[in-house]
Structures are given as structure tokens and as C-alpha cells.
Amino acid sequence: MPSDSRPATDHDQTGTASWRDILAKYQRPSNGRALWQLASTLIPYALLWYAMYHVMAISLWLVVPVALLAAAFLVRIFVIFHDCGHGSFLGSRRANDAVGFLTGVLTFCPYYHWRWQHAIHHGTAGDLDRRGMGDVWTMTVQEYLEAPWWRRCAYRLARNPVVLFVLAPLFVFVLYQRFASPRANRRERHSVQWMNLALLGVVVALAWTFGIWPYLLIQSIVMAVAGAGGIWLFYVQHQFENAYWQRSADWSFTAAALHGSSFYKLPRVLQWFSGNIGFHHIHHLSPRIPNYNLQKCHEGDALFRQVQVMTLASSLRTLTLRFWDENENKLVGYAGLRRIRAQLRR
């Protein structure tokens, strides 16, 4: 079961050893809070699908706003799924696995396979020499300048906001998650197969209930909007100007957690729907802290409040960032790339 991915040591430059006792207070799951979170999320989500079934008889256009609200609840369901993968949501491993599978069906994610990939992300976030698993494709300035034209074109396309937040969510959750990684072991591969069978049953049942085309329309809206929201949250919390990236020799788990993951300060309603995942610095420092304890941990010690704070307004600037400048230790956009290229030509 994934834990903190890499043990904190006295050699970590930010002194994690002195924080372990602080973090430990918030790592114990509360079954009561978890069950209430499940009820307050899954029941409304089911009722919204029931409402869409009846509203559909009046007009498909009226279904759209209901589907948008359902998408917001699906983001929250994904956070619960995510916590189960870290073994932090409920006190029992079996309970986490059961809820993880159920919420995986709703989010189209194979539980064990996704859990394995996400654990790799936690163990490699911010490490320039271990990119490529569970993160947004990020090239350094030097890599981009030395890449062949076709790779540069592919990178520009992949980092385009329309591709990243409109096309990629449907591709990732509807298609990509249907196939196991060649590196996956037997349990992870079987996880994909069982999830595909479960999804087939759910899709057939809902298509029979709603009609194939209305169901596909509704499911596409819900998945596209929820997927875009989820990818945006993941993107903005690791792709900010002064993020943390280092080569393996200088990489620190603790520094990557606190300085490579932002504190996304959202309005209360968005914080609720996103399951407190805006406290991403706390989550990366200790994935065993359940989402309902993240804010309390953040507020429990002044040290945690000395991290990069991002608001809705300031987060929009991250859309202009593309490349990691190893000389300046920051993400830059195309303007920064042109400036560096001009300097190299002198």
C-alpha cells in the first residue's frame, strides 16, 4: 500500500524529521467523517442522475446544467477514490479497497493500477531525472531546443490548453485507463480487466435506461467537465513559476512536497467540491493524511503556511508556462524561451 513514497530523513534540507510528530496527529482516519463524506457525495450524485433521467423527457438542454453539477460531485468522488488509493480515507485496508473500487467505477479508473502509478508520482514529483509517470509532460529549455522538430511540435500540442483541458480528460479517463501499462504487475493488470468488465455492465445498464445517445451525451458532459477540473487541479498545483525541479542527485522528497506543490487557496464551495486537495503541499508531504484533515494540518503549524499560495486569479498565469529553465530554476513560457534562445546565439 502506498505510503509517503520516500521516508523523510535528517538529510532533507527542510528538516522533515522535526515535522513527523506534527504530521502524525492528522494521519489517523475517522470512519465517521469518511462515511459522512461518502453519503454527502454519492447520494447527491445518484440523485442528480435520477433528475437527469426525468428532465431528459422535457428537454435535453435542461439536462446540461444538471450534468455540470454532477461533474462537480464527480471531482469530489475522485478525491475520495484518490484517498482510498493512499489508504488514508478509512481505517480499514479492506474498506479503502472496496470504496476505491466503487468510486473507481464512477470515475472510470482501475483502482490498483491507478494506485500504483500515482504512488510513483509521489515518489518522483519534482525529479527531473525521473519524469514520465503520472505527471504533466514537462521539458527543460535545453531539451526543447535540442529536440527534433516533430518532438517540439508534439510538445507544443500536448501543452496547448485546449488539448490539455478539453481533449486530454476524455482521452485519459475514457480510453487511456482501459489499458494496463507494460510495466504493471499481475494485480494491476487484472485491476484494469475487472474495471473494464464492471464499466461495461454499468454502461449497458445506463444506456438501456436512458437510451444510448442521451446516455452518451450526459456521460460525456459529466466526464469531460469533471476530467477538465481534475486535470486543472493537478496541473496548477505542480506547474507554477517557482515550482521545485531538481536532478536526482540534489532532489529532496521534503523540498519537492513543500515547494513543488502549491497551496491552492480556493473559495469555500470549490474547496468542498475539490475535497481540500488545494492543500497539496500537505498531501505530498504525507499522503496518509485524509483529505478531511488537510486543512487542519495546514493550520496547525506556521511552518506549513510558508509555501507558495495560489488563488484562482493568480493560477491563470500558469497557462503561459511551458519549459523548465535549469539555469534560473523556474518555469518559463514562450517569451522566456525566445529570450534564452537569443542569448545563446550571441
The pLDDT assigned to 21 comes to 80
pLDDT of residue 11: 39
More confident residue, 308 or 236: 236
Q: What confidence score (pLDDT) does residue 307 get?
A: 82
Asked if residue 8 has pLDDT above 70, the reply is no
Of 305 and 244, more confident: 244
pLDDT score, position 60? 84
pLDDT range class, residue 14, cuts 50, 70, 90:
very low
Is residue 87 over pLDDT 70?
yes
Helix/strand/coil for 133: coil
**Which has the closest alpha carbon to 19: 304, 263, 247?**
304
DSSP string, 242-307: T---B-GGG--HHHHHHHSS-EE---HHHHHHTTTTTBHHHHHH-TTS-GGGHHHHHHH-GGGGSS
Nearest to 261 by CA among 125, 72, 154: 125
**Residue 325 host element (H or E):** strand 323-325
pLDDT value of position 219? 94
What pLDDT score does 160 carry?
95
Q: Give residue for cell 437510451.
A: 211
Contact 110, 125 (CB under 8 A): no
Kindly report, residue by residue over 250-275, the tens digit of the pLDDT: 999 988 988 888 899 999 999 999 99
What's the pLDDT band for 3 if we cut at 50, 70, 90?
very low
The model carries a pTM of: 0.90
pLDDT band at 61 (very low <50, low <70, confident <90, very high): confident
Distance CA 183, CA 224 (A): 28
Contact 68, 7 (CB under 8 A): no
Q: Classify strands 263-264 and 309-310 as parallel, antiparallel or unpaired.
A: parallel
What is the reported pLDDT for 247?
95
What is the three-class DSSP state of 157?
Answer: helix
Does 122 score more than 60 pLDDT?
yes
Give the pLDDT confidence score for residue 6 in this predicted structure: 40
Alpha-carbon distances of 117 from 12, 109, 338, rounded to whole Å: 24, 12, 35
Helix (H) or strand (E) holding 112: helix 111-124
Q: What is the pLDDT of residues 159-205, one digit of tens each?
A: 999 999 999 999 999 999 999 999 999 999 999 999 999 999 999 99
Kind and range of the H or E run holding 309: strand 309-310
What's the whole-number average pLDDT of the chain? 90
Q: What is the pLDDT confidence band of residue 117, given thresholds at 50, 70 and 90?
A: very high
pLDDT tens digits, residue range 292-345?
Answer: 999 999 988 877 777 878 999 999 999 999 999 999 999 999 998 888 888 877
Measure the CA–CA gap between 147 and 41, rounded to whole angstroms: 46
For residue 324, give the H/E element and its range.
Answer: strand 323-325
pLDDT value at 9 more than 50: no
